[in-house]
Structure formats: structure tokens, C-alpha cells
Amino acid sequence: MSPSDRFSPLTRALLDNIRRAGLPPLHTLPLAAARQAYAAGVGAMSEPGPALGRVERLGIPGPAGQIPAMLWAPRTEAGLPVLLYLHGGGFVIGGLDTCEAMCRRVAQLADVAVVAIDYRLAPEHRFPAALEDSMAALRWLADHGHTLGLDTRRMAVAGDSAGGCLAASTALMARDAGIPLRLQALFYPTVQARQATESFKTWSRDTPLSAELMAWFQAQSAAPLPPDQAWFREPLFAPDHTGVAPAWIGLAECDPLTDEGQLYADRLRSAGVPVQVRVWPGVLHDFINMGRFIPEAGQAHAELAAAVRQAFAI
């Protein structure tokens, strides 16, 4: 059996459609065009999110000025718990528009307020700028979220891909800062920069998240870090995972990053951290943004919402 035989029929059909369209790979485009193409692709493939009772644009103080943010909540009453969401895109592409549909759906299904931020992107702002913004947003929500009517005693952080890295590292920093989190929810997180896993070797060819695209992301975003901060980009290698927030990790079977997610789950478990892992068979990286074509996207949104709801009910 070849690796491509493991794709679900709908995943295979989607990949065939992408190939027939003949669109240039993102890493071959100028930066602005790559960002525009990714946003257009997500817009074309994701199911629109539901209408909600509360939608607000925010500005959160950050280390380099105001961080643009959005708040989505199913209703206007005070007292909802808050989920900080960090979008994916290799630290280079993506934004509030590329995570909005899912954030809206999770807010509705989990009955929570979801706050997503437009953290600074590379190469204009190389790592750890994105992480600095993520932690600044979490600190601000912890200290000032009550001014928005949010229950900051019940907070969680989530993200996908590069945003999953940010969420994992933010959770570790929150532990060190004494900011309690009920959950860290990670969709196929990139938790190491060393790409030598079996899933990377198997799925980084002939899929949208290619080895070439990942190398492009790394070249755009990498910056030297002091030795004691090297784990910021590679939370798998943080010196200590003890006491970090419980984790829910959602993975795609046919994804270069699947093994990284499993390795991170193992590392957390070895530190005594409760972990739930869910692997969707036959689907590929970024499937959560492909709901028009991949029904597992809606399932993933619902399971994330269920994990968030359960964490906040404790």
C-alpha cells in the first residue's frame, strides 16, 4: 500500500482538484501574494461560521504596540469563560480571517468567549515576536478580561500548527507566571524545528504542507535565541513540563506533523500531565479549515468544543 492509499476518498478528491487548478505553491510566491493566496484558499474551503450574539474588535496592549484581536461569543451576558486562540500559518501567513469560521463555531458549541489575536508575523517580525504577543494577550486577558465581562478564573489557550506551537509555549510560560489555565488545545502543533520524523518523511511530499513550504516558513521566521529560550520555538524540548495545563491534541493522520503531536503527548504524559489525543484518519494538515470538502473538519471543531466545555465545567 502506498501512502496515498491512506487518504480518505474526499481528501484524495480535494487533492486532485488542487492539482488540476495548477495553483503555484505558496513558497514560490512573493510574501504578500502568499498571504493573500492562503487567505483565499481558507475562505474557499472552510464552512462559514455561525452568527453570534457578540462580536467585538479589540486592541490588546503588546510589546510592540496594540495587538489587533477579535472576540466572538454566543451571547452578551457576562461570566463566560475565555479561550485564547492562536492561528496557524508557519509564523508567516494567516490571520484573524483564517481562523474566524472555526472560532465562531467553537464559541457557539462550547458556550465560551473566543479571543483570537493578529500576532506579529515573520519575516517582518521574526520569532519570538509571535510568542511575545501571545503571552502579552494572555496576561492582559488574565488581568483585564473582567472589564469585558469574561470569567478569567476559567481560561484556556488553543492553536493550530504554528499556533499550536505558540499555544504550547504560552501554556508553559503561563505555568511559570502563575496564570492558571484549564486546558491547552493543540491541533497538529509544530513543537520542534527538526524535521526527521517518519510522518514528515511520508507526508511532506505531494501534500500542501510540503518539505519545501516548511523550509520556507523556517527561513522566514527563524532567529537566534539565547540557549535558555531555545525551547520557545521547540516546546517539545522545554526543560520541564511538570504542572502545565492539561492537553487536548487533535491530529491528522496524513500530516508531516503527526508524529510531533504524538511526541509532545508522550512528553506531557511523562511529566504527569493529563493528555487526550484524537487522530482523524485519512485527512491532511489544515483539514480543520476545509469543511466544505472534508466533513472531519466539523467533527474536529465539535470535539475541540467538547474538550473546552468539559475543562471549564471542572
Contact of 226 with 130, CB cutoff 8 Å: no
Query: CA nearest 187: which of 273, 283, 115, 108?
Result: 283
Q: Could you give the CA distance from residue 30 to residue 105 in angstroms, rounded to a whole number?
A: 32
SS3 57: strand
Q: Could you give the CA distance from residue 181 to residue 111 in angstroms, rounded to a whole number?
A: 17
Contact of 132 with 62, CB cutoff 8 Å: yes
Q: Which of 133, 160, 255, 259 is catalytic?
A: 255
b/e map 105-129, b = 16+ CB within 10 Å: bbbbbbbbbbbbbbbbbbeebbbbb
| CB within 8 Å of 273: residues ≥ 6 apart | 241, 242, 243, 244, 245, 246, 247
Q: Could you give the CA distance from residue 310 to residue 314 in angstroms, rounded to a whole number?
A: 7
Longest CA–CA separation in the chain, Å: 56
Query: CA nearest 150: which of 271, 60, 87?
Result: 60
Q: Which of 8, 46, 134, 161 is catalytic?
A: 161
Q: Which of 27, 87, 241, 285 is catalytic?
A: 285
Q: Beta strand pairing status for 113-117 and 150-160?
A: unpaired
Q: Could you give the CA distance from residue 236 to residue 241 in angstroms, rounded to a whole number?
A: 9
For this structure, is 118 an active site residue?
Answer: no
For this structure, is 255 an active site residue?
Answer: yes
Q: Could you give the CA distance from residue 217 to residue 185 in angstroms, rounded to a whole number?
A: 23
Structural Rg of the chain based on CA atoms: 18
Residue type, 267: R
For this structure, is 285 an active site residue?
Answer: yes
* Active site members: 161, 255, 285
